[in-house]
Amino acid sequence: MSDRMQRLRGQLTVLASSATEQLRYLEEQNLPECIDELALDYDAIAATANDMLSRGEVSQQQRNCVKALNDFLGEFSGQQNAHLWTPEALRSAPEWKKVRRMATECLAQLK
């Protein structure tokens, strides 16, 4: 398994995890209140999905799943959505529940 695939699976696992586990992940990174780091860390590896597709590391369907999740995270970024990037929102906002579902779907496709 390539390093990029391991990183992709790792970031998907974080996004598929419960809010409690995600907050623990951020604390371990010394970023306890930086909820946006979840999206930034994922974006860093998701940005390589096209190259991974061209090199045969992922299928078109897998790449589409990775991209759809990254696009969805981008839909609620920005200052106007700051309320969605708090520990409380991570626990209760429907957007984060959808992120977890989408990440779980992507992980299932990568197995």
| Apex 35 CA angle, 105 and 97, nearest 5 | 35
The model's pTM is: 0.95
Measuring CA to CA, which residue among 70, 60, 66 is closest to residue 40? 70
pLDDT tens digits in sequence order for the chain, 111 residues long: 789 999 999 999 999 999 999 999 999 999 988 999 999 999 999 999 999 999 999 999 999 999 999 999 999 999 999 999 999 999 999 999 999 999 999 999 998
Domain ranges within the chain, ordered by starting residue: 3-109
d(CA 33, CA 20): 13
What does the pLDDT read at residue 33? 85
What does the pLDDT read at residue 74? 96
Measuring CA to CA, which residue among 87, 83, 74 is closest to residue 46? 74
